[in-house]
Amino acid sequence: MAITKARAATVTAGPHARGGIWSWITTVDHKRIGILYGTSALVFFLVGGLEALLIRAQLARPENGFVGPETYNQLFTMHGTTMVFLVAMPAAVAFFNYIVPLQIGARDVAFPRLNALSYWVFLFGGLFMNSSFLLGQAPNGGWTGYVPLTGPRFAPGLHIDFWVLGLSMLGISSILGGVNFITTIINLRAPGMRLMRMPLFTWMTLVTSFLLVTAMPVIAVALILLIFDRFFGTSFYAPAGGGDPVLWQHLFWMFGHPEVYILILPAFGMVSEVIPTFSRKPLFGYAIMVYSGILIGFIGWGVWSHHMFATGLGPIADAFFAIATMIIAIPTGVKIFNWLATMWGGSLRFSTAMLFAIGVIASFTIGGISGIMHSAAPADLQQHDTYFVVAHFHYTIFGGTILGTFAGIYYWFPKMTGRLLDERLGKWHFWLMFLGFHLTFFPMHWIGLLGMPRRIFTYYDELGLGSLNLLATIGAFTQGVAVVLFLWNLLRSRRHGVVVGPNPWNAATLEWSIPSPPPEYNFAVIPEVHSREPLWERREATPAPPAPEPAIHLPPPSHWPIVVAFGVLLTFGLFLANVWWVPLGGVALVAFGVMNWAFEPGH
């Protein structure tokens, strides 16, 4: 094999809590934190999915009164916010946490307690935003938060306060996680694992992490300005006070388009692991796949204003952003063709994970083509704020990110649990979700071209849109059935699934060289890597130079990350009192937690 023993190790772990809920609350183990992220994302996925079904039930027929306009505004605002910030992003981070250290031959992430803090801040931020439903004050200004709709004049009450403060917490979590994964990937790779030997999923994690730490500060600035407008009476976005509402659009989309690639690149990485494994071939064009991912991340910073063609930027700006939007399709197309080339001539096995990966190729291609259509400003002006845009967005994010995430779940579930998900149920899940997805969103292209604007809670029968909307609603509920099947498969297989060994798929990367599920320390012996597919390469193992046998140091559990995260929650929550000094109580708790964190023994 193309891995050799670099140095043996004696396991001397710190005092870890082995069981019970307290062991999960205080854990700093990257694998457990990954499971916490994934479980939380799944719960929020069910919440966001329920919101989507309520939206589609309202739109199933013309002039429906299933929900009122205010409730509808809250539903579509929280659906978009939940699916983007509480589902797609944390689901990717769940795999970052669990898989990346295993793929690079590390025993943990670089900053285990910071990793735990990132999770708890994310969870508290998500719970904080959703608690607004209990007060009847759920956000209602759209998930893009356009001002003046979210300004103090047109959005009184606590609706937008919950949104802007909760989103700020999620931004803090994302920045902490991005810093952690950049440091981990750069510094903790196994001996011999050069950058161009890293698995594609790890590469996409690295690119995504750089996008997180650079894009999140942009939305942080936008949110801080909105907080000042709402809480302190400034006028950054209010024209009456010399502000400019278009400034929000620039800041939001300057963050928002890198955010699209924050969502899709991890799924691309998952697909790039699944397809070679089930094609029995190395990934075609590995280097160009790496460079195309980097290019996507880089060019993604130069396309934000294609969301703003309708604001009157002028012909020069329109031309620049139109060309940039066309250019970014090139590295994206490279990935599609390289996946097809990988499958070409391979010994294909159509497992559930492989079906979802192929579903990503088909669905994302449709979304990418409609995106190229929007690069032309005249076409974009006609389709702007119609259901055509809703269709395009879901073909890229759901068809790319969510389907890709399901591919990752079916692929790595055996590694996480030591058991296979049921393939028969999995294929039912795939086909119901895939067909339901297309039945939901493909008709929306026609609905949009026929002139139906998005974000409206009803429409007139005379428009002739009832049949297409009913089809979309049937497709949405079909996807709901698929999710129920998936949940049953997940719960059943966790207890009764087929028990497997370290490498049930005969895959090539390092995570498959250790037991399933992995031990707490991951690798008893740190591997030395000689190729991109270390488990497929058959070479004579070359002995490593003699080295001392170091002990494995595993950081002990810590309760200070959740204390600091609760302080962050308290700080932002007390902002709702609208008295400037009240949040200082939360700041004091954060300071207390950080001080004790710094001097915690055993770390």
Tell me the pLDDT tens digit for each residue of 298-316. Answer: 999 999 989 999 898 899 9
Q: Which of 197, 250, 306, 429 is catalytic?
A: 306
Whether residue 175 contacts residue 283, with contact meaning beta carbons closer than 8 Å, is answered with: no
Q: Which helix (H) or strand (E) holds 340?
A: helix 315-343
Query: Tokens representing 576?
Result: 């709702």
Predicted confidence at residue 20, as pLDDT, reads: 87
Predicted confidence at residue 541, as pLDDT, reads: 43
Does the pLDDT of residue 5 top 80, yes or no?
no
**Any catalytic annotation for residue 174?**
yes
Task: Kindly report, residue by residue over 488-507, the tens digit of the pLDDT.
Answer: 999 999 999 999 999 999 99
Determine if the peptide bond prior to 148 is cis (ω within 30°).
yes
Q: Which of 29, 51, 108, 229 is catalytic?
A: 108
- DSSP structural state of residue 419: B
551 φ, ψ (degrees, to nearest 5)? -85, 145
Q: Which of 30, 56, 79, 415 is catalytic?
A: 79
pLDDT class of 51 with cuts at 50, 70, 90: very high
**Any catalytic annotation for residue 250?**
no
**Any catalytic annotation for residue 30?**
no
**Any catalytic annotation for residue 537?**
no
Predicted confidence at residue 16, as pLDDT, reads: 52
**Any catalytic annotation for residue 429?**
no
Q: Which of 174, 493, 558, 571 is catalytic?
A: 174
Whether residue 243 contacts residue 235, with contact meaning beta carbons closer than 8 Å, is answered with: yes
**Any catalytic annotation for residue 467?**
no
Question: Distance (Å, rounded) from C-alpha 91 to C-alpha 210?
Answer: 18
Q: For strand 526-529 and strand 3-7, is the pairing parallel, antiparallel, or unpaired?
A: antiparallel
Start-to-end Cα distance in the chain: 36
Does the pLDDT of residue 338 top 60, yes or no?
yes
**Any catalytic annotation for residue 132?**
no
Question: Distance (Å, rounded) from C-alpha 282 to C-alpha 346?
Answer: 10
Please state which of the ranges 164-178, 333-347, 388-402, 549-563 shows the lowest mean pLDDT.
549-563
Please state which of the ranges 526-530, 534-538, 581-585 shows the lowest mean pLDDT.
534-538
Query: Tokens representing 468?
Result: 């297409």
Predicted confidence at residue 1, as pLDDT, reads: 47
Closest C-alpha to 97, from 86, 112, 77: 112
Does the pLDDT of residue 121 top 70, yes or no?
yes
**Any catalytic annotation for residue 415?**
no
Helices (H), 418-465: 423-449
Predicted confidence at residue 10, as pLDDT, reads: 58
Helices (H), 344-465: 352-374, 377-383, 387-396, 403-417, 423-449
**Any catalytic annotation for residue 422?**
no
**Any catalytic annotation for residue 496?**
no
Whether residue 425 contacts residue 485, with contact meaning beta carbons closer than 8 Å, is answered with: yes
Q: Which of 40, 77, 173, 396 is catalytic?
A: 173
pLDDT class of 542 with cuts at 50, 70, 90: very low
Does the pLDDT of residue 390 top 80, yes or no?
yes
Predicted confidence at residue 551, as pLDDT, reads: 74
Q: Which of 32, 197, 454, 532 is catalytic?
A: 454
Predicted confidence at residue 261, as pLDDT, reads: 96
60 φ, ψ (degrees, to nearest 5)? -65, -30
Question: Distance (Å, rounded) from C-alpha 244 to C-alpha 99?
Answer: 44
Q: Which of 307, 429, 438, 445 is catalytic?
A: 307
Whether residue 159 contacts residue 137, with contact meaning beta carbons closer than 8 Å, is answered with: yes
**Any catalytic annotation for residue 173?**
yes
- DSSP structural state of residue 542: P
Does the pLDDT of residue 65 top 50, yes or no?
yes
Q: Which of 259, 318, 380, 528 is catalytic?
A: 259
Q: Which of 119, 143, 505, 597 is catalytic?
A: 143
CA count, 13 A, side-chain hemisphere, 253: 14
Closest C-alpha to 180, from 202, 216, 221, 213: 213
Question: Distance (Å, rounded) from C-alpha 293 to C-alpha 312?
Answer: 32
Does the pLDDT of residue 579 top 90, yes or no?
no
**Any catalytic annotation for residue 460?**
no
> For a pLDDT cut of 70, what percent of the chain falls above it?
95
> For a pLDDT cut of 90, what percent of the chain falls above it?
88
Query: Tokens representing 548?
Result: 């001392």
Predicted confidence at residue 582, as pLDDT, reads: 87
